Amino acid sequence: MKSFKNLNAVYLKIWVALNERNNNMMNSLRDEVGRLFIISFGVFLFVLFFQPFPLDALDYNNRLLYVTGFGLIIFAAACIALIILPVAIPKWFNVKNEWENGPPIQLSLVLLVITVTAFLFYIRWVGQVQLSLYIMFKAFLVCLLPIVALTSMYKTRSMEREIEVLQEHNMQYMSRIRDMENAAKVEEIDIFPDNTDKKISLRIKDVVLIRSADNYIEFYSLKNDSLDKKLIRGTLKNIELQLAKFKDLIRCHRTSIVNKEHVEKLIRSYSGYSLKVRFLEEKIPVSRHSLKLVKEALQIPE
């Protein structure tokens, strides 16, 4: 049964991969056909307005149909040269990598040869125009326009993708810079003892333990990578009110406030719970009333 489930999972992964590949191919094909249609329509408008080939022998309606034929020739030839041939003969053409700077040279030459040849036959047998070197030269230039336009489109798309990648990288770098700036910020607090204007300034990240001792408060903080102790007169309740906005400092006992960033682990023993705090040899007790708060702060499941 287990092997059967594994086999189903493998089949599912293969099906998802094939489906994603087919979707990508269909999207790519649709984009390619859209580009070719736009270019063909552009050739139609160019021939219609600039009239590089003689149209005097045709009336208005036939002239419009005649000009439409040039656009259809470009579209059909481009589909053959840029879509069908790379799929039918992949070894001859670079179809594995996307065309960042336009179609490969060999495909561009194939497209040019097909369109020029088709244009000349079309002008001679449909338009009933005698061919000359001048008309052949103009046919060559008109057939060169789709290749130039395709190359420009591919380069524009490549530049847009590069811009998107650069924007993503820029966002990532800016996010890292903001994270580093936030990490570099050091929150400081001024502690005011009871009934006095004197104060002590401490960096929150350096505070390890705040503990009451009779009518005094002991502050254990880091200074030059060693533990420093300050003693001030006051009550822990007053200090707790001043530290209320700092979420890293948690009241774990009626006598103690610890910095969760320096807590190594929560210890359970027969006598209750306690905290192993970095830089302190003694364990800091945890009261039953504060246990839930301590576990939430340390992200310890119930």
Place of tokens 């301590």: 294
Distance CA 176, CA 241 (A): 34
pLDDT at 25: 55
CATH of domain 188-297: 2.40.50.1020
pLDDT at 11: 47
Domain chopping of the chain, boundaries? 2-181, 188-297
pLDDT at 23: 55
Sheet holding 284-286, edge to edge: 263-269, 272-277, 284-286
pLDDT at 72: 94
Q: What is the pLDDT along the chain (302 residues), one digit of tens a residue?
A: 545 445 455 445 444 444 544 555 566 678 788 888 999 999 999 998 898 988 777 777 788 889 999 999 999 999 998 888 887 777 766 554 556 667 788 888 999 999 999 999 999 998 888 889 999 999 999 999 999 988 888 888 878 888 888 888 888 888 777 766 565 455 677 777 766 667 778 888 889 999 998 888 899 998 887 888 888 888 888 888 888 888 889 999 999 999 998 999 999 988 889 999 998 989 999 999 999 999 998 887 76
Place of tokens 């700077």: 101
How open is the CA angle 240-244-250, to the nearest 5 degrees? 70
Distance CA 18, CA 16 (A): 6
Residue 119 and residue 73 in contact, taking contact as beta carbons nearer than 8 Å = yes
User: Which residues face 104 on adjacent strands?
Assistant: none
Residue 61 has which token pair?
């309606």
Distance CA 278, CA 276 (A): 7
**First-to-final CA distance of the chain:** 35
Cα-based torsion angle of the residue sequence 108, 109, 110, 116 in order, rounded to the nearest 10 degrees: 110
